Homo-oligomer: A and B are copies of this chain.
Amino acid sequence: MMLFVSTDGAVRTPSAASASEAAAIHPTRLRLLQVATRLFQQRGYHAVGLAEILALSETPKGSLYHHFPGGKQELAEACITRISASTMAALDDASASGADIIAFLQKLGAESAAWLERTDWRDGSLLAVVGQEHGGGDGPLADAVRIAYQRIEMRLAKWLMLEGVAVARARDIAATIIAAHEGAMLLARCRRDNTPVSLTTAMLCAMVERG
């Protein structure tokens, strides 16, 4: 249950992608997406050069521009929509399995903390990093982040409504969860210390419980 980050960015030995995408995605394309996502979520869009992405994924430049004619920007866009898709899928799974929101929040907090520690606080949220760099702008990347957050919020809100929360309140709670969780990940990363994540998780649980 990891939201906002990609955990499959192993280098040269791409872990098996989720079944749905393994069927359709070209191996080179997948490798590029995994490595690029990993690097972008560590350092941001502008801080990572194509040279590094190509070297770590052992891919020649020609292949990149074959699979992503739009170059670096299209690659980053694809990374964002891929993270967005996997996050929504995770939310749907959790919702379908009948878990309640409180359990979900606690699991999210625990696994986020574990992930941060496991990466030595190097990896953050791709959406947050790119979002910070592009803010309220109007480029393709800013749009991709905007849409990703919107869709994730909608899934979360839908789930909350399934649990009986009123429509307007569900959307509010969803947005609050996303904002607080992203902020907690950031602060935890900067401080190399997970307490912001657990504190925020507790606060979010309290908010949801009070309705």
A189 in contact with B131 given A121-B136, A207-B203 (CB within 8 Å): yes
Residue tally, chain A, CB below 8 Å to B: 52
Q: What number of copies of this chain does the assembly contain?
A: 2
**Residue A47, interface by CB 8 Å:** yes
Query: Complex Cα distance A127/B190, Å?
Result: 9
Query: Complex Cα distance A195/B199, Å?
Result: 22
Per the 8 Å Cβ criterion, residues 111-159 of A in contact with B are 116, 120-124, 127-129, 131-137, 142, 145-146, 149-150
Nearest CB to that of A47 among chain B residues?
B46
Question: Are A191 and B149 in contact, CB atoms less than 8 angstroms apart?
Answer: yes
**Residue A61, interface by CB 8 Å:** no
Stretch at the interface among A25-33, A81-89, A175-183: A175-183
**Residue A53, interface by CB 8 Å:** no
Q: List 17 A-B contacts (CB under 8 A).
A: A43-B134, A45-B47, A47-B133, A122-B136, A123-B135, A128-B132, A131-B186, A132-B186, A146-B191, A149-B187, A175-B196, A175-B199, A179-B184, A179-B186, A179-B188, A180-B180, A180-B200
In the A-B complex, list the 5 residue pairs whose CB atoms are closest, starting with the nearest: A183-B183, A121-B136, A179-B183, A46-B46, A46-B47
